[in-house]
Chain A
Amino acid sequence: MQKAKPIKNPYLPKPFKILDFHRESPGTFTITADMKIKHEPGQFVQVSVPGFGESPISICSYSNKFVKLNVREVGNVTRALSRLKKNETIFIRGPYGKGYPMESLKGNDLVIIGGGCGVAPLKGIMDYLESYRDDYKDILLFLGYRSPDDVIFKREMEEWKRKYQINITVDRNAHGQFCYDAKEGFITDAINSSNLSNENKVVFVCGPPIMMKYVVEILKQKGFHDDQIFISAERLMYCALGVCCHCMIRGKFTCIDGPVFRYDEIKDFRND
């Protein structure tokens, strides 16, 4: 056995200390890792639990002091991650991919539309705005969740409510009453009934494929052009280096050409 050479081997993750473990909702949690890197909002990292495997997780923060990762427990790796605790070690490689091109969008109104755990990469933009708020005009948020229990980033939401125009929806409110000023109904209905126009606006959409499909349809009805819409794609991924090919959308690789795509780059490619 040879000693590991972390710089030369692109598959090797590095260990980082967990600074915080926060349960967001019954099915999701946020890990803050002591990982000091420069990255763009919307990029992702590969998170390992040796023995279980590796998962691509989007970075839901914007800082060069730490990295926050919001994880939904859906598979072996993410369930294993849910058992980690503060001060333990997490193994990460990255960052990878192309994030939101914030620089080139200066001067616009930003419309941020997130569904469920799709809010996570978008929170990277919210954190980015903490430092660059003056570069943009109005900020409008549409956040949709299945139920009040599924709402994530509750702590941050109070802040967002004070600063930005925010619309929260829950598909079904089983509890009868609700404390996040959320309306019962689909996020698509909330967007539809709003007086959103396409003037000087860019839209960021992230959520389940079916939600993104209908949201984009509504945006188009409201006059938005393909190049005003940015979506964050989800695909199966192993290498994150553009060689395993699982994340290919036609000729594009989600891991290196995405995960953020301007809609005209991949429109109509939902099943490819």
Chain B
Amino acid sequence: MRVLRLEKKRLAEFLGRVTNSYMLIAPVKTDLVRFEVIKNVDDIYLEKNSYFPIKEYFFRKEETLFKFDGKKFAVPKIEAPHRVFFGIRKCDLNGIERQDIVYMKQVQDPYYIAARKNSFLIGYHCNEAPSPYCFCGSLELHDHFDLMFYDRQEHFLIEIGSEKGLFLSNKFKECFELSNQSISSEEKIIKNADRLENKDISHLYDNPDWKKGVDICLSCAACTALCPTCYCSEIHDTVSTKDPSQSERKRSWSSCQVQDFTKVAGDHVFRKEREQRFKHRIYHQLEYFKDKNGIDLCVGCGRCIEACPTRIDFVEIINDMNKDAKSKTN
């Protein structure tokens, strides 16, 4: 493994050079921490994880699939600027990996692929869980990055994770030194991020305690909107008010936490109760996706808990259910 070293005082220089060649997107603290296009590299904020995940840059909130002029369909030219994303945490990098599975392997989604193709992903490794809600250590997270920055007080150690990463490190080689240090697997462990004691929930489906999670649920769907992996969508047509023959088909984010998600003709709703919807989300995250793709969907960022207006903590609920089940068997 080739490891590079960058002195912290030279970080601004490196990122400045990046902005000369690419659009740079990194976390910025405004009202909240979010990923934004960087104009001044001093704005970059790495103290906390971004409130909003990075997924909206690839799987966009709203995507025009095509336009219809009354006769023909036309697909809008999919803009794909060369972008460098800096400061992505391991959870979000894994979130991108999960979305890659859905939108690049399960289907060849031309919109997602275009947005993803010209992007470089530079990670920033958490030495410690940045939020009390994190639990990425309880899940299987992979190395999924082009470059990964490990924070070492006075300097960064940089791991190259892909061909694209190698390309970047060569392009900006004057910023880096070759390091003789290596990054061990112990060093990749993020401390205080293993709250979820047992991610196997297959035996809990009929447990009545799921209800605890939903008595205070407002069905606001913040959990799914802020999830770096949630990939559900819905497709609707809009019509130009000036000329009704002109229309557009748009795909937008959708949430399994609202009733309409399963509403069919005749107004029949399959998951009418909040408990069913809550359970569906957690089982999709921890079981269904894994059954199909061999990997958990959830990456343990904890945003669905932190952003919940009533702080429904599914990790605690599962831990409690597992404890109860254990004490009953003993």
* B242 at interface by CB-CB < 8 Å: no
For B244-277 the 0/1 string (1 means CB < 8 A from A) is: 1101010100101000011111101011110010
Partner of B262, one of A9, A75, A236: A236
Number of cross-chain contacts by CB at 8 Å: 126
CB pair A248–B288 under 8 Å, yes or no, is: yes
Q: A4-B72, A8-B110, A235-B264 are contacts. A244–B234 as well, Cβ < 8 Å?
A: yes
B66 to chain A: which residues have CB within 8 Å? 4, 9, 11-12
CB pair A3–B74 under 8 Å, yes or no, is: yes
* A72 at interface by CB-CB < 8 Å: yes
* A190 at interface by CB-CB < 8 Å: no
SS class, residues of chain A in contact with chain B: loop
Q: How far is the CB of B33 from chain A (nearest CB, A)?
A: 28
Nearest A residue (CB) for B247: A51
CB pair A244–B276 under 8 Å, yes or no, is: no
A5 to chain B: which residues have CB within 8 Å? 75
* A1 at interface by CB-CB < 8 Å: yes
Q: A241-B107, A250-B283 are contacts. A236–B271 as well, Cβ < 8 Å?
A: no
For B61-83 the 0/1 string (1 means CB < 8 A from A) is: 00001111000111111000000
* A238 at interface by CB-CB < 8 Å: yes
* B182 at interface by CB-CB < 8 Å: no
CA distance A237 to B168 in the complex (A): 42
For A231-263 the 0/1 string (1 means CB < 8 A from B) is: 000111011011111101011000000000000
CB pair B291–A251 under 8 Å, yes or no, is: yes
Q: A3-B74, A248-B284, A248-B288 are contacts. A243–B268 as well, Cβ < 8 Å?
A: no
CB pair B280–A238 under 8 Å, yes or no, is: no
Nearest A residue (CB) for B77: A2
B249 to chain A: which residues have CB within 8 Å? 11, 50, 53-54
Which residues in window 277-292 of B have CB below 8 A to A?
280, 283-284, 287-288, 291-292
* B328 at interface by CB-CB < 8 Å: no
Partner of A244, one of B76, B233, B264: B233
Query: Interface size bucket, B side?
Result: 35 or more
CB pair A238–B233 under 8 Å, yes or no, is: yes
CB pair B234–A246 under 8 Å, yes or no, is: yes
* B239 at interface by CB-CB < 8 Å: yes
CB pair A4–B291 under 8 Å, yes or no, is: no
* A271 at interface by CB-CB < 8 Å: yes
A11 to chain B: which residues have CB within 8 Å? 65-66, 235, 249, 251
For A1-27 the 0/1 string (1 means CB < 8 A from B) is: 111110011111100000000000000
CB pair B287–A251 under 8 Å, yes or no, is: yes
A236 to chain B: which residues have CB within 8 Å? 261-264
* A272 at interface by CB-CB < 8 Å: yes
B292 to chain A: which residues have CB within 8 Å? 251
CA distance A241 to B268 in the complex (A): 23
A1 to chain B: which residues have CB within 8 Å? 67, 74-77
Q: How far is the CB of B110 from chain A (nearest CB, A)?
A: 5
CA distance A78 to B288 in the complex (A): 32
A248 to chain B: which residues have CB within 8 Å? 280, 284, 288
CB pair B74–A239 under 8 Å, yes or no, is: no
* B201 at interface by CB-CB < 8 Å: no
CB pair B291–A235 under 8 Å, yes or no, is: no
CA distance A236 to B72 in the complex (A): 27
CA distance A51 to B238 in the complex (A): 6
CA distance A242 to B288 in the complex (A): 13
* B109 at interface by CB-CB < 8 Å: yes
CB pair A51–B68 under 8 Å, yes or no, is: yes
Partner of A272, one of B109, B254, B280: B280
CB pair A271–B270 under 8 Å, yes or no, is: yes
Q: A2-B77, A239-B233, A272-B270 are contacts. A244–B262 as well, Cβ < 8 Å?
A: no
CB pair A234–B233 under 8 Å, yes or no, is: no
CB pair B271–A272 under 8 Å, yes or no, is: yes
* A209 at interface by CB-CB < 8 Å: yes
B326 to chain A: which residues have CB within 8 Å? none
* A74 at interface by CB-CB < 8 Å: yes
Known: A4-B75, A9-B110. 6 other contacts (CB 8 A): A13-B73, A50-B73, A74-B265, A239-B233, A244-B234, A272-B270
Q: Nearest 8 pairs between A and B by C-beta?
A: A251-B288, A51-B247, A50-B68, A74-B265, A245-B232, A238-B235, A51-B239, A53-B237
5 examples of A-B residue contacts, CB within 8 angstroms = A4-B72, A8-B108, A10-B107, A235-B262, A241-B107
